[in-house]
Amino acid sequence: MKLTAITKDDAAQWLLKGTLMLVITSLSACVTINIYFPAAAAEKAADKVIDEIWQVPAGASSPADTKPSVPAASPVMPSATPMAPSVKPSVNQESAP
């Protein structure tokens, strides 16, 4: 039977034919691919590079954010410490108004 006779040489020949066909189709496809600029990929790449250069989480936003947060944190701490041991005054304060 022919079916049993699939040798290495056969497979190689099929692959060769297939590769040839792929090359032909790819060449025609390449003409189309090269015309179009990958805009979405470029945008993604740009965002990544800009974030790295501007260091968006660390460099750009933190100088504005850390300055108000440091003075804001210090008034909270003294007010929190007297409130912490006495629970009752805080309950009274809530019920008073």
CB 60 within 8 A of CB 54: yes
DSSP one-letter string for 32-87? HHHHS--HHHHHHHHHHHHHHHHTIIIIISHHHHHHHHHHHHHHHHHHHHHHTT-S
Q: Which is nearer to another protein, 52 or 94 (CB)?
A: 52
Q: Which is nearer to another protein, 49 or 91 (CB)?
A: 49
The reply to whether 13 sits near another protein by the rule CB under 8 A is yes
The reply to whether 30 sits near another protein by the rule CB under 8 A is no
Segment 34-73, which members bind another protein (CB under 8 A)? 34, 37-39, 41-56, 59-61, 63
State the residues that interact with another protein by CB under 8 A. 10, 13-19, 21-22, 34, 37-39, 41-56, 59-61, 63
